[in-house]
Chain A
Amino acid sequence: MTGMSLPARMMVGGLFAYAGFMKLVYPVENFHAVLAEYPLVPHAAIPLIALTLPWAELVLGVFLVTGYLTRLSAAALLGLCAAFVLLLVTRYMIEGTLPADCGCFGTGWLHFSGAQILAMDVVNAGLCVLILRCRKYFLSLDSWLGR
Protein backbone atom coordinates (compact mmCIF):
# COMPACT_ATOMS: atom_id res chain seq x y z
CA MET A 1 0.00 0.00 0.00
CA THR A 2 2.79 2.43 0.97
CA GLY A 3 4.60 1.78 -2.34
CA MET A 4 1.45 2.62 -4.30
CA SER A 5 0.87 5.89 -2.51
CA LEU A 6 3.68 7.69 -4.35
CA PRO A 7 2.30 7.15 -7.91
CA ALA A 8 -1.20 7.86 -6.57
CA ARG A 9 0.01 11.14 -5.04
CA MET A 10 1.81 12.08 -8.27
CA MET A 11 -1.24 11.37 -10.41
CA VAL A 12 -3.94 13.02 -8.30
CA GLY A 13 -1.75 15.88 -7.07
CA GLY A 14 -0.24 16.48 -10.52
CA LEU A 15 -3.65 16.61 -12.20
CA PHE A 16 -5.11 19.00 -9.64
CA ALA A 17 -2.02 21.22 -9.65
CA TYR A 18 -2.08 21.39 -13.46
CA ALA A 19 -5.85 22.07 -13.53
CA GLY A 20 -5.52 24.88 -10.99
CA PHE A 21 -2.48 26.39 -12.67
CA MET A 22 -4.05 26.47 -16.14
CA LYS A 23 -7.16 28.17 -14.80
CA LEU A 24 -5.10 30.73 -12.92
CA VAL A 25 -2.88 31.86 -15.76
CA TYR A 26 -5.74 32.41 -18.26
CA PRO A 27 -8.47 35.09 -17.94
CA VAL A 28 -10.85 34.24 -15.11
CA GLU A 29 -13.92 34.91 -17.29
CA ASN A 30 -13.10 31.71 -19.23
CA PHE A 31 -13.69 29.77 -16.01
CA HIS A 32 -16.88 31.75 -15.23
CA ALA A 33 -18.38 30.29 -18.42
CA VAL A 34 -17.39 26.76 -17.39
CA LEU A 35 -19.01 27.15 -13.96
CA ALA A 36 -22.15 28.60 -15.54
CA GLU A 37 -22.66 25.24 -17.26
CA TYR A 38 -23.45 23.57 -13.93
CA PRO A 39 -26.98 24.25 -12.61
CA LEU A 40 -25.99 23.42 -9.03
CA VAL A 41 -23.55 26.35 -8.92
CA PRO A 42 -25.44 29.48 -7.78
CA HIS A 43 -24.86 32.24 -10.27
CA ALA A 44 -24.02 34.78 -7.58
CA ALA A 45 -21.26 32.50 -6.27
CA ILE A 46 -19.51 32.08 -9.64
CA PRO A 47 -17.00 34.96 -9.26
CA LEU A 48 -15.97 33.81 -5.76
CA ILE A 49 -15.65 30.15 -6.79
CA ALA A 50 -13.72 31.11 -9.95
CA LEU A 51 -11.32 33.10 -7.80
CA THR A 52 -10.72 30.56 -5.02
CA LEU A 53 -11.17 27.06 -6.49
CA PRO A 54 -8.14 27.17 -8.84
CA TRP A 55 -5.87 28.26 -5.95
CA ALA A 56 -7.21 25.42 -3.80
CA GLU A 57 -6.59 22.95 -6.64
CA LEU A 58 -3.05 24.20 -7.24
CA VAL A 59 -1.95 24.40 -3.60
CA LEU A 60 -3.54 21.10 -2.54
CA GLY A 61 -2.15 19.42 -5.67
CA VAL A 62 1.38 20.66 -4.92
CA PHE A 63 0.99 19.64 -1.26
CA LEU A 64 0.01 16.13 -2.32
CA VAL A 65 2.82 15.77 -4.88
CA THR A 66 5.44 16.93 -2.39
CA GLY A 67 3.86 14.94 0.44
CA TYR A 68 3.21 17.94 2.67
CA LEU A 69 0.23 17.56 5.04
CA THR A 70 -0.46 14.52 2.87
CA ARG A 71 -3.50 13.17 4.70
CA LEU A 72 -5.14 16.59 4.97
CA SER A 73 -4.49 17.34 1.28
CA ALA A 74 -5.80 13.93 0.19
CA ALA A 75 -8.93 14.40 2.32
CA ALA A 76 -9.55 17.88 0.86
CA LEU A 77 -9.01 16.63 -2.70
CA LEU A 78 -11.34 13.70 -2.01
CA GLY A 79 -13.95 16.30 -1.03
CA LEU A 80 -13.33 18.22 -4.27
CA CYS A 81 -13.65 15.02 -6.35
CA ALA A 82 -16.95 14.24 -4.62
CA ALA A 83 -18.18 17.80 -5.27
CA PHE A 84 -17.23 17.54 -8.97
CA VAL A 85 -19.03 14.20 -9.29
CA LEU A 86 -22.10 15.77 -7.68
CA LEU A 87 -21.95 18.73 -10.11
CA LEU A 88 -21.70 16.45 -13.14
CA VAL A 89 -24.45 14.09 -11.99
CA THR A 90 -26.87 16.92 -11.17
CA ARG A 91 -26.12 18.56 -14.51
CA TYR A 92 -26.96 15.27 -16.23
CA MET A 93 -30.14 14.86 -14.18
CA ILE A 94 -31.34 18.42 -14.83
CA GLU A 95 -30.23 19.02 -18.42
CA GLY A 96 -29.95 15.46 -19.73
CA THR A 97 -26.40 15.99 -21.02
CA LEU A 98 -22.87 16.27 -19.74
CA PRO A 99 -20.68 19.17 -20.95
CA ALA A 100 -18.88 18.46 -24.25
CA ASP A 101 -15.69 19.85 -22.67
CA CYS A 102 -15.44 19.83 -18.89
CA GLY A 103 -13.25 22.95 -18.93
CA CYS A 104 -11.32 21.60 -15.95
CA PHE A 105 -7.92 22.33 -17.43
CA GLY A 106 -8.50 25.87 -18.64
CA THR A 107 -7.06 26.55 -22.07
CA GLY A 108 -4.39 23.86 -21.76
CA TRP A 109 -3.73 20.91 -24.02
CA LEU A 110 -5.72 18.50 -21.85
CA HIS A 111 -9.37 18.33 -22.85
CA PHE A 112 -11.87 15.87 -21.43
CA SER A 113 -15.55 15.43 -22.08
CA GLY A 114 -17.97 15.45 -19.16
CA ALA A 115 -18.21 11.64 -19.23
CA GLN A 116 -14.43 11.22 -19.24
CA ILE A 117 -13.93 13.63 -16.37
CA LEU A 118 -16.70 11.92 -14.38
CA ALA A 119 -14.78 8.64 -14.69
CA MET A 120 -11.52 10.42 -13.81
CA ASP A 121 -13.05 12.03 -10.70
CA VAL A 122 -14.23 8.61 -9.49
CA VAL A 123 -10.73 7.16 -10.08
CA ASN A 124 -9.11 10.15 -8.35
CA ALA A 125 -11.47 9.76 -5.38
CA GLY A 126 -10.44 6.10 -5.13
CA LEU A 127 -6.76 7.07 -5.22
CA CYS A 128 -7.35 9.68 -2.49
CA VAL A 129 -8.91 6.96 -0.32
CA LEU A 130 -5.85 4.76 -1.02
CA ILE A 131 -3.53 7.61 0.05
CA LEU A 132 -5.59 8.21 3.20
CA ARG A 133 -5.27 4.55 4.17
CA CYS A 134 -1.45 4.66 4.09
CA ARG A 135 0.45 5.12 7.33
CA LYS A 136 3.73 6.33 5.84
CA TYR A 137 4.47 8.34 2.71
CA PHE A 138 7.58 7.52 0.71
CA LEU A 139 9.57 10.52 -0.60
CA SER A 140 7.45 13.08 1.19
CA LEU A 141 8.03 16.32 3.03
CA ASP A 142 6.03 14.82 5.89
CA SER A 143 8.74 12.14 6.40
CA TRP A 144 11.47 14.80 6.19
CA LEU A 145 9.65 16.99 8.72
CA GLY A 146 9.18 13.98 11.00
CA ARG A 147 5.39 14.22 10.89
Chain B
Amino acid sequence: MFKPKTLITGIVLIGLCAAAVLVSRHVLQRDMGGPQTLGAVKVRGDLRAPVEIVEFSDFQCPACQLVQPLLKSLDEKYPGQIRLVFKHFPLAGHAWSGQLHLAAECAGEQGRFWEYHDALYAAQKELGGTEDPTVRLLGFAKTLGLDLDIFAVCVTGPDAAKRVTAERAEGEKLLLRSTPTFFINGTRVVGPREMESEADKIIAKALEEKKK
Protein backbone atom coordinates (compact mmCIF):
# COMPACT_ATOMS: atom_id res chain seq x y z
CA MET B 1 0.00 0.00 0.00
CA PHE B 2 1.03 3.63 -0.52
CA LYS B 3 2.06 5.79 2.41
CA PRO B 4 -0.20 8.86 2.95
CA LYS B 5 2.61 11.21 1.83
CA THR B 6 3.03 9.24 -1.41
CA LEU B 7 -0.71 9.19 -2.02
CA ILE B 8 -1.05 12.94 -1.42
CA THR B 9 1.86 13.66 -3.77
CA GLY B 10 0.15 11.64 -6.50
CA ILE B 11 -3.16 13.40 -5.98
CA VAL B 12 -1.40 16.80 -6.13
CA LEU B 13 0.36 15.86 -9.39
CA ILE B 14 -2.87 14.65 -11.01
CA GLY B 15 -4.66 17.78 -9.78
CA LEU B 16 -1.98 20.02 -11.30
CA CYS B 17 -2.27 18.15 -14.63
CA ALA B 18 -6.06 18.52 -14.62
CA ALA B 19 -5.85 22.21 -13.73
CA ALA B 20 -3.33 22.90 -16.51
CA VAL B 21 -5.55 21.11 -19.05
CA LEU B 22 -8.78 22.78 -17.96
CA VAL B 23 -7.28 26.29 -17.90
CA SER B 24 -5.56 25.85 -21.30
CA ARG B 25 -8.69 24.32 -22.82
CA HIS B 26 -10.77 27.21 -21.53
CA VAL B 27 -8.33 29.81 -22.92
CA LEU B 28 -8.07 28.08 -26.31
CA GLN B 29 -11.71 27.22 -26.83
CA ARG B 30 -13.24 30.28 -25.13
CA ASP B 31 -14.07 32.20 -28.31
CA MET B 32 -14.20 29.24 -30.67
CA GLY B 33 -17.94 29.17 -31.40
CA GLY B 34 -19.01 27.47 -34.63
CA PRO B 35 -18.47 28.10 -38.33
CA GLN B 36 -19.97 31.30 -39.75
CA THR B 37 -22.44 30.55 -42.52
CA LEU B 38 -24.53 33.67 -42.54
CA GLY B 39 -24.25 35.15 -46.03
CA ALA B 40 -22.17 32.19 -47.27
CA VAL B 41 -22.14 31.97 -51.05
CA LYS B 42 -20.52 28.64 -51.71
CA VAL B 43 -23.67 26.76 -50.82
CA ARG B 44 -25.21 23.69 -52.46
CA GLY B 45 -28.74 22.55 -51.67
CA ASP B 46 -31.89 24.11 -50.27
CA LEU B 47 -31.15 27.21 -48.19
CA ARG B 48 -34.00 26.22 -45.83
CA ALA B 49 -32.79 22.62 -45.46
CA PRO B 50 -32.86 21.43 -41.83
CA VAL B 51 -29.35 19.95 -41.96
CA GLU B 52 -26.34 22.13 -42.63
CA ILE B 53 -22.99 20.53 -43.42
CA VAL B 54 -20.05 22.94 -43.36
CA GLU B 55 -17.00 21.46 -45.05
CA PHE B 56 -13.47 22.79 -44.51
CA SER B 57 -11.49 21.29 -47.33
CA ASP B 58 -8.26 21.43 -49.32
CA PHE B 59 -8.31 20.72 -53.06
CA GLN B 60 -4.95 18.94 -52.88
CA CYS B 61 -5.85 16.73 -49.93
CA PRO B 62 -6.56 13.12 -51.05
CA ALA B 63 -8.89 12.49 -48.07
CA CYS B 64 -11.01 15.48 -49.18
CA GLN B 65 -11.35 13.96 -52.64
CA LEU B 66 -12.16 10.58 -51.13
CA VAL B 67 -15.14 11.98 -49.23
CA GLN B 68 -16.82 13.69 -52.22
CA PRO B 69 -18.83 10.60 -53.35
CA LEU B 70 -20.12 10.23 -49.78
CA LEU B 71 -21.34 13.84 -49.75
CA LYS B 72 -23.14 13.25 -53.04
CA SER B 73 -24.69 10.02 -51.74
CA LEU B 74 -25.95 11.83 -48.62
CA ASP B 75 -27.54 14.41 -50.90
CA GLU B 76 -29.29 11.63 -52.79
CA LYS B 77 -30.36 9.83 -49.62
CA TYR B 78 -31.81 12.97 -48.03
CA PRO B 79 -33.11 15.02 -50.99
CA GLY B 80 -33.84 18.63 -50.06
CA GLN B 81 -32.78 18.01 -46.46
CA ILE B 82 -29.09 18.97 -46.66
CA ARG B 83 -27.37 22.28 -47.32
CA LEU B 84 -23.62 21.98 -47.97
CA VAL B 85 -21.43 25.00 -47.27
CA PHE B 86 -17.86 24.95 -48.55
CA LYS B 87 -14.99 26.67 -46.73
CA HIS B 88 -11.44 26.98 -48.02
CA PHE B 89 -8.76 25.45 -45.82
CA PRO B 90 -5.63 25.27 -48.01
CA LEU B 91 -2.89 23.38 -46.17
CA ALA B 92 0.62 24.78 -46.10
CA GLY B 93 2.20 21.46 -47.06
CA HIS B 94 0.51 21.40 -50.48
CA ALA B 95 2.38 23.30 -53.16
CA TRP B 96 -0.57 24.50 -55.25
CA SER B 97 -3.39 24.61 -52.72
CA GLY B 98 -3.38 28.41 -52.43
CA GLN B 99 -3.60 28.81 -56.19
CA LEU B 100 -6.33 26.17 -56.60
CA HIS B 101 -8.51 27.68 -53.88
CA LEU B 102 -8.07 31.15 -55.33
CA ALA B 103 -9.10 29.91 -58.79
CA ALA B 104 -12.16 28.15 -57.35
CA GLU B 105 -13.14 31.27 -55.43
CA CYS B 106 -12.87 33.27 -58.67
CA ALA B 107 -15.00 30.70 -60.51
CA GLY B 108 -17.51 31.26 -57.70
CA GLU B 109 -17.57 34.96 -58.52
CA GLN B 110 -19.00 33.97 -61.89
CA GLY B 111 -21.45 31.49 -60.32
CA ARG B 112 -19.55 28.31 -61.22
CA PHE B 113 -17.87 27.42 -57.95
CA TRP B 114 -19.24 23.87 -57.62
CA GLU B 115 -18.43 22.90 -61.21
CA TYR B 116 -14.89 24.21 -60.73
CA HIS B 117 -14.70 22.42 -57.36
CA ASP B 118 -15.64 19.11 -59.03
CA ALA B 119 -13.11 19.69 -61.83
CA LEU B 120 -10.32 20.31 -59.31
CA TYR B 121 -11.06 17.16 -57.35
CA ALA B 122 -11.36 15.11 -60.55
CA ALA B 123 -7.91 16.32 -61.65
CA GLN B 124 -6.32 16.23 -58.19
CA LYS B 125 -3.63 13.65 -58.96
CA GLU B 126 -2.64 15.34 -62.21
CA LEU B 127 -2.51 18.80 -60.60
CA GLY B 128 -0.38 17.50 -57.74
CA GLY B 129 2.29 16.34 -60.18
CA THR B 130 2.40 19.44 -62.35
CA GLU B 131 5.19 22.02 -62.22
CA ASP B 132 2.77 24.91 -62.62
CA PRO B 133 -1.01 24.46 -62.61
CA THR B 134 -1.81 27.89 -64.16
CA VAL B 135 -2.49 26.59 -67.68
CA ARG B 136 -4.75 23.80 -66.38
CA LEU B 137 -6.63 26.24 -64.14
CA LEU B 138 -7.28 28.54 -67.10
CA GLY B 139 -8.31 25.46 -69.09
CA PHE B 140 -10.96 24.57 -66.51
CA ALA B 141 -12.22 28.16 -66.55
CA LYS B 142 -12.47 28.06 -70.34
CA THR B 143 -14.23 24.67 -70.36
CA LEU B 144 -16.80 25.98 -67.87
CA GLY B 145 -17.45 29.02 -70.06
CA LEU B 146 -16.11 31.60 -67.61
CA ASP B 147 -15.14 35.07 -68.78
CA LEU B 148 -11.37 34.64 -68.84
CA ASP B 149 -10.60 38.37 -68.51
CA ILE B 150 -12.70 38.68 -65.35
CA PHE B 151 -11.18 35.41 -64.08
CA ALA B 152 -7.61 36.67 -64.69
CA VAL B 153 -8.33 39.97 -62.89
CA CYS B 154 -9.84 38.06 -59.99
CA VAL B 155 -6.96 35.62 -59.47
CA THR B 156 -4.39 38.41 -59.53
CA GLY B 157 -6.42 40.83 -57.41
CA PRO B 158 -6.61 40.99 -53.62
CA ASP B 159 -10.33 40.41 -52.99
CA ALA B 160 -10.68 36.68 -53.65
CA ALA B 161 -7.34 36.03 -51.91
CA LYS B 162 -8.62 37.88 -48.85
CA ARG B 163 -11.76 35.72 -48.77
CA VAL B 164 -9.71 32.50 -49.01
CA THR B 165 -7.39 33.73 -46.24
CA ALA B 166 -10.36 34.70 -44.07
CA GLU B 167 -11.89 31.22 -44.35
CA ARG B 168 -8.55 29.60 -43.56
CA ALA B 169 -8.28 31.88 -40.49
CA GLU B 170 -11.81 30.89 -39.47
CA GLY B 171 -10.76 27.23 -39.60
CA GLU B 172 -7.74 27.95 -37.45
CA LYS B 173 -9.94 29.71 -34.93
CA LEU B 174 -12.09 26.59 -34.85
CA LEU B 175 -8.90 24.63 -34.00
CA LEU B 176 -8.96 22.54 -37.17
CA ARG B 177 -6.14 20.08 -37.34
CA SER B 178 -6.71 18.39 -40.65
CA THR B 179 -8.92 18.28 -43.70
CA PRO B 180 -11.63 17.46 -44.38
CA THR B 181 -13.32 18.70 -41.21
CA PHE B 182 -17.11 18.94 -41.20
CA PHE B 183 -19.63 20.58 -38.93
CA ILE B 184 -23.01 18.86 -39.26
CA ASN B 185 -25.50 21.20 -37.58
CA GLY B 186 -22.56 22.24 -35.40
CA THR B 187 -21.28 18.74 -34.58
CA ARG B 188 -17.64 18.36 -35.58
CA VAL B 189 -16.69 15.31 -37.66
CA VAL B 190 -13.07 14.96 -38.78
CA GLY B 191 -11.77 12.86 -41.66
CA PRO B 192 -13.40 10.62 -44.26
CA ARG B 193 -13.62 7.50 -42.07
CA GLU B 194 -15.39 9.29 -39.24
CA MET B 195 -17.63 11.04 -41.78
CA GLU B 196 -18.52 7.69 -43.32
CA SER B 197 -19.50 6.19 -39.97
CA GLU B 198 -21.01 9.21 -38.22
CA ALA B 199 -22.64 11.49 -40.83
CA ASP B 200 -25.66 9.30 -41.44
CA LYS B 201 -26.37 8.94 -37.72
CA ILE B 202 -26.05 12.68 -37.04
CA ILE B 203 -28.26 13.61 -40.00
CA ALA B 204 -30.90 11.02 -39.12
CA LYS B 205 -30.92 12.26 -35.52
CA ALA B 206 -31.24 15.91 -36.63
CA LEU B 207 -34.16 15.05 -38.91
CA GLU B 208 -35.80 13.01 -36.16
CA GLU B 209 -35.49 15.94 -33.74
CA LYS B 210 -36.97 18.26 -36.33
CA LYS B 211 -40.06 16.03 -36.62
CA LYS B 212 -40.74 16.25 -32.85
Contact = CB atoms under 8 A, between A and B. Distances in A.
Interface residues of B, number: 26
B14 A33 contact: no
Contacts of B29: 25, 27
Contacts of B28: 25-26
Contacts of A43: 197
B41 interface: no
Contacts of B16: 62
Interface stretch (B3-11, B123-131, B144-152): B3-11
Contacts of B10: 63, 68-69
Chain A CB within 10 Å, residue with most, of B5, B6, B10, B17: B17
B30 to A, nearest CB: 12
Contacts of A147: 6
B189 to A, nearest CB: 7
A100 B165 CA distance: 25
B177 A30 contact: yes
Contacts of B193: 33, 36-37
Q: Is the interface of A mostly helix, strand, loop or mixed?
A: helix
B194 interface: yes
Q: Is the interface of B mostly helix, strand, loop or mixed?
A: helix
Nearest to B193: A36
B194 A30 contact: no
A117 interface: no
Nearest to A111: B93
A59 interface: yes
A103 B6 CA distance: 34
B20 interface: yes
Contacts of A103: 177-178
Contacts of A59: 13-14, 17
A106 interface: yes
Given A25-B24, A62-B13, A66-B13, 18 more contacts: A25-B21, A26-B175, A27-B175, A29-B190, A30-B175, A30-B176, A30-B190, A32-B191, A32-B194, A33-B178, A33-B194, A37-B193, A43-B197, A58-B17, A59-B14, A62-B17, A107-B175, A141-B9
28 contacts: A21-B21, A21-B24, A24-B25, A25-B25, A26-B28, A26-B177, A29-B190, A30-B176, A30-B177, A32-B194, A33-B191, A33-B194, A36-B193, A58-B21, A59-B13, A59-B14, A62-B13, A62-B16, A63-B13, A66-B13, A69-B10, A101-B178, A103-B177, A107-B175, A107-B177, A145-B3, A145-B6, A145-B9
